[in-house]
Structure 1
Amino acid sequence: MCDSDNHQGYIADTSFTRRSVVLTISSVAAIAGLPTAALAANVTETDVMVPTPDGSADAVLFHPAGKGTWPAVLMWPDILGLRPVFREMGRRLAAEGYVVLVPNPFYRTKRAPIVTGEFDFNDPKQVQPLLALKATLTDAAIDKDVAAFITFLDKQKQTNRRKGAGVQGYCFSGPFAFHAAAVRSDRIRAVGSFHGGGLVTKDANSPHLLIPKTKASFVVAIARNDDQKQPEAKTILKAAFAAAKRPAVVEVYPADHGWCVPGSQVYDHASAERAWAELLRLYRANLA
């Protein structure tokens, strides 16, 4: 999911030399690079603790302010976890009319933020602890978590349970979105994976093998350098979606791995906005 063997371009790729992320709340607007309207949106943000079979997960919940109900969305962060930039992404999505939960995937080990200050993906001393944390997220753990997170969202008075729910993942959490769609196929109707790592592997638990268990429509946005390392992945995904009769857009973007998350040197604004627009089209079509 996120090691140098199967998370193409995220850690091992030399094009990411000196990629750093500065996690400072005071400069979050500048880091995020998000539209002013998103930062000023009338959205309610609440830090929450979500009960799971393995304890309480720290997370943040967003929804439009005022009275009303809206479709639920689970937004998985990338391997750097719940931090200011993902709070802004959650806020931006909620402003479009959704109840959004952004969890800390590593709650079993450490409360968010997982990383503070600058992070260098080319420094093994910084990367190895992160990979150790990632190793704790087994398929069984993720399946328990997605079930608990969707249940939590459905218990919110702001959630419209008559409408389908969505899930999206970034980088190492792309596979988590597939798991969510399979585990909660009764609720998940739309799935977005953005530069997701390890969606197609040779293992018996490859995420793409979960597609027949889902009842969702998909958007799978692939980074160009990931595609260069695993050009067959897009073809395998398209075939799997077709065989399962699941609607899907599988596309290679002209941007490198990590391009959707503002604040890094690989962030590509044009491609990120295009991917965001595709996500909104997916949700509007399937969560209505």
Structure 2
Amino acid sequence: MKQDLDIRTQDGVARAGLFRAEGGASNAGVILYMDAFGPRPALFQMAERIAGQGYAVLVPDLFYRNGPYAFDAKTAFSNEKTRAELMELIGSTSQEMTKRDTAGFLDALAEAGVGPVGTVGYCMGGARSLNAAATYPDRIVAAASFHGGNLAGDAPDSPHWQAAKIKAKVYVGTAGVDRSFPPDQSAKLAEALRTAEVDHIIENYVGMQHGWCVPDHGVFDFAGAERHWRRLTTFFSETLG
């Protein structure tokens, strides 16, 4: 069951979908941070699957500061025009903006009556999931990233710099081949989390490509996606109950 929400943030009003299982109670919440193509049926399908496990799942539009947009996940990066439009959207929505917005997202879940909160992000949402946990350590108890990019890069908003602030348990699922998160970054992230004594798992999905979890991606892999679902289900069961 999907409920459309308008969430007040410091910068305006973010559109979001709140998903719950039909007739089911939700004692814990999950924020699903979108990939670069925005909220759409594929992400709603994923949110419904998480909601079916007993959680209230919020899928906010991180690009709400901009006008209407729509991209085909299979072709957006192969077309020069849509690629440029997409990169402009991504570049205009900083990590700091999403950190601020997350206060409103957490309040929306609190108003929905749920207690502990976990996060999960895909692609650009992966870093946002981890940064949210660092920014709101007393409200987020679990943070997951799948094929997240630049989780331990040189930029000041890279999540690995914030590891000492994280109290949540962390799960990172990496694509076997991913230029946005190469092996040296994986090693840097692991070292930062170990040094900060963060309870974490970093798992390499060998043979998978960036975007393998999301059903409308051109590189979607059913077996790999199901493996991701098993890991995520266990992760939230252990941390959110």
How far the C-alpha of 1:116 sits from its partner, in A, is 5.8
Residue identity over aligned pairs, in percent, reads 34
| Contact map agreement 1:227 1:252 (CA 8 A) in 2 | no
Distance change (3 Å), C-alpha of 1:198 and 1:91 = same
Determine which structure has greater relative contact order: mean sequence separation of CA pairs < 8 Å that are 6+ residues apart, divided by chain length: 1
1:25 is matched with none
| Contact map agreement 1:61 1:101 (CA 8 A) in 2 | yes
RMSD: 1.8
Distance change (3 Å), C-alpha of 1:267 and 1:51 = same
Q: How many residue pairs are counted as aligned between the two chains?
A: 240
2:37 is matched with 80
Say yes or no: does 1:206 pair with 2:163: no
**Given the alignment, which residue of 103, 107, 122 partners 2:78?**
122
2:66 is matched with 109
Distance change (3 Å), C-alpha of 1:171 and 1:150 = same
2:14 is matched with 57
| Contact map agreement 2:21 2:51 (CA 8 A) in 1 | yes
Say yes or no: does 1:194 pair with 2:194: no
- Greater per-residue strand proportion: 2
Hey, what's the Cα distance between the residues in 2 that align with 1:132 and 1:226?
Answer: 21
Say yes or no: does 1:45 pair with 2:2: yes
Paired amino acid for 2:61: N
Secondary structure, aligned partner of 1:49: strand
How far the C-alpha of 1:118 sits from its partner, in A, is 6.6
Hey, what's the Cα distance between the residues in 1 that align with 2:132 and 2:73?
Answer: 31
Alignment of 1:140-179 (within 5 A): 140-157=96-113, 159=114, 161=115, 164-179=116-131
How far the C-alpha of 1:238 sits from its partner, in A, is 1.4
Say yes or no: does 1:262 pair with 2:192: no
TM-score, normalisation: structure 1: 0.79
| Contact map agreement 1:82 1:103 (CA 8 A) in 2 | yes
The structure that has the greater radius of gyration is 1
TM-score, normalisation: structure 2: 0.94
Unmatched 5+ residue regions in structure 1?
1-43
How far the C-alpha of 1:140 sits from its partner, in A, is 2.1
Hey, what's the Cα distance between the residues in 1 that align with 2:26 and 2:89?
Answer: 36
